């Protein structure tokens, strides 16, 4: 069979995993990334469930382990920093997973281990796609015209190419939670645990250790308007207003964000779609099914999707429709499992009133008790399946 050509848009976890596996299975691969250079940054992501098996098949388990964030567990704290409840890091899928790594370190690890021959172009985006029978022609902002057998759209939750090609099918569910992430200097009060502070007004402050000698901080505010369209200074000013009286380490985080180089603002939005492919175009990762940190496991699902896509296309030769349908069928139960959390979870996790906060703290105590630990363990299980991964076709094994 002649060498097949895939264009992949987006060079983060889903796009790089697809590049890795499609190249491994004999494709010519061209990756386009909008950013001018590799995008570093981001907080902890974890490799759970069947994603551990995919990582092992990539030969990257030890490389990811070597970049462990050093976090040893999770504690819920009050305004004085006193520990109210504690979730230990117990086993591969505990609250702090065994394979816990910063998003940027994870993506760079895949990038640095791509098979020979993957072409990556930074600072370019797709401006037009012509999906004709049996081929797809991609035109880019820099004027390139690429003829391919497959276009993989892995542009994340706010994917423009997805909206252009699948717009009528995109169901966006804004969870009403604004988050800002960034890296701040470590201080003597930071320890090896993820410290999680919840207060009234639907506000949370998170501090987590990293393996670079700094601290990863996050502020989250529920019932918030979307701040992702504001520029950085305006978005941070809005967080400053909202967290002015939040207490604990909120002020330190806000001051740190003023000079942080990797501030990332997000509005948690689930993406739900009835299909993830049309003709010779398919979606991977958050572009197709963003689960948000409320569901958890976005990075694991993104990693798995690259393998499953390449495996399904390796056994169906030029029967693309069959291969892409098999990819969707395999991935969908994993996605449904994390997208379907109960609606009351958001107001419960982000209480507005003192009463709500008291209730939340009671439940935190209960779920961290040894009595309920089997139930709690289920909450952090994602990408969990008893199904075997689809095999890679013999010609490509
Ligand atoms: C800089 C950054 C920081 C993040 N920080 C966190 C975090 O702290 N916590 C968390 O839970 N999740 C974070 N995420 C999201 C997390 O990476 C994803 O939820 C998950 O890993 C799935 O990855 P993905 O590859 O599908 O999407 P993403 O990781 O969102 O990657 C999408 C990629 O596509 C690129 N792109 C977007 N539009 C275009 C376009 N039109 N053309 C070409 N390329 C395009 C983006 O620059 C990006 O590299 C972050 C993502 C990024 C990009």
Token digits for 13?
A: 């976890």
pLDDT of residue 40: 86
**Residue 160: how many CB atoms within 10 A of its CB?**
15
Q: Comparing 27-31, 273-277, 393-397, which segment has the lowest mean pLDDT?
A: 393-397
pLDDT for the residue 20: 98
Coarse DSSP helix, strand, coil percentages of the chain, rounded to the nearest 5 percent: 35, 25, 35
End-to-end CA distance of the chain: 15
CA-17 nearest atom, ligand 1:
25
pLDDT in tens, 248-262: 999 999 999 999 998
CATH architecture designation of domain 5-41+54-68+104-171+269-341: 3-Layer(bba) Sandwich (3.50)
**Residue among 8, 9, 12 whose CB has most ligand 1 atoms within 8 A, to mutate:** 12
Bridge partner residues of 8 (DSSP)? 31, 152
Residue 12 CA to ligand 1 center (angstroms) comes to 6
pLDDT at residue 326 greater than cutoff 60: yes
Q: How far is the CA of 22 from the centre of ligand 1 (A)?
A: 20
Confidence of residue 321 (pLDDT cuts 50, 70, 90): very high
- Across residues 344-361, what is the average pLDDT? 92
Q: What is the pLDDT of residues 223-276, one digit of tens each?
A: 778 888 899 999 999 999 999 999 999 999 999 999 999 899 999 999 999 999
Backbone angles phi, psi at 344, to 5 degrees: -75, -10
Residue among 214, 197, 184 at smallest CA distance from 70: 214
Show Cβ contacts of residue 184 under 8 Å, excluding neighbours closer than 6 positions.
Answer: 214, 215, 217, 252, 253, 256, 257, 260
What is d(CA 309, CA 288) in angstroms, rounded to the nearest whole number? 13
DSSP string of 142-176, one letter each residue: TS-EEEESEEEE---TT-HHHHHHHGGG-EEEEEE
**Which residue from 8, 9, 10 has its CB within 8 A of the most atoms of ligand 1, so it is best to mutate?**
10
As a whole number of angstroms, the longest Cα–Cα distance in the chain is 66
Give the pairing type, strands 214-222 and 203-209.
antiparallel
Ligand 1 atom closest to the Cα of residue 9 is 43
Strands 277-278 and 281-283, how do they pair? antiparallel
20, 123, 124, 155: residue to mutate for ligand 1 pocket, most atoms within 8 A of CB: 155
Mean pLDDT computed over every residue of the chain:
91
Report residues whose beta carbon is within 6 angstroms of any ligand 1 atom. 9-15, 32-35, 39, 41-43, 45, 103, 125, 154-156, 159-161, 181, 264, 285-286, 293, 298-299, 302
Q: Where are the domains of the chain?
A: 5-41+54-68+104-171+269-341
């Amino acid at each position: 069979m002649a060498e097949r050509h895939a264009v992949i848009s987006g060079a983060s976890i889903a796009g790089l995993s697809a590049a890795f596996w499609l190249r491994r299975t004999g494709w010519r691969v061209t990756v386009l990334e909008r950013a001018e250079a590799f995008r570093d940054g981001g907080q902890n992501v974890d490799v759970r469930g069947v994603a551990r098996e995919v990582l092992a098949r990539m030969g990257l388990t030890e490389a990811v382990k070597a970049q462990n964030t050093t976090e040893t567990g999770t504690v819920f704290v009050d305004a004085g920093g006193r520990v109210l409840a504690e979730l230990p890091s117990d086993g591969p899928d505990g609250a702090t997973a065994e394979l816990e790594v910063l998003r940027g370190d994870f993506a760079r690890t895949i990038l640095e281990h791509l098979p020979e021959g993957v072409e990556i172009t930074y600072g370019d985006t797709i401006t037009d796609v012509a999906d004709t029978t049996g081929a797809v022609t991609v035109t880019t902002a820099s004027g390139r015209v690429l003829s391919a057998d497959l276009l993989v759209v892995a542009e994340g939750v706010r994917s423009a190419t997805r909206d252009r090609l699948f717009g009528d099918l995109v169901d966006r569910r804004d969870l009403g939670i604004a988050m800002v992430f960034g890296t701040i200097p470590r201080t003597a009060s930071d320890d090896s645990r993820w410290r999680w502070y919840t207060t009234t007004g639907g506000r949370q402050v998170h501090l987590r250790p990293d393996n670079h000698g700094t601290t990863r901080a996050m502020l989250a505010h529920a019932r918030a308007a979307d701040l992702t369209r504001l520029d950085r200074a305006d978005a941070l000013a809005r967080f400053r207003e909202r967290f002015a009286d939040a207490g604990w380490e909120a002020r330190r985080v806000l001051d740190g964000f003023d000079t942080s180089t990797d501030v990332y603002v997000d509005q948690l939005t689930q993406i739900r779609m009835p299909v993830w492919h049309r003709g010779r175009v398919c979606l991977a990762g958050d572009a197709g099914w963003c689960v948000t940190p409320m569901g958890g496991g976005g990075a694991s699902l993104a990693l798995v999707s690259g393998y499953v896509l390449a495996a399904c296309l390796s056994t169906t030769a030029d029967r693309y429709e069959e291969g892409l349908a098999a990819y969707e069928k395999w991935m969908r139960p994993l996605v449904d499992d994390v997208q379907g959390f109960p609606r009351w979870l958001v107001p419960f996790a982000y209480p507005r009133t003192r009463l709500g906060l008291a209730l939340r703290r009671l439940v935190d105590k209960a779920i961290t008790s040894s009595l309920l630990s089997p139930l709690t363990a289920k909450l952090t299980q994602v990408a969990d399946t008893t199904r075997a991964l689809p095999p890679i076709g013999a010609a490509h094994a």
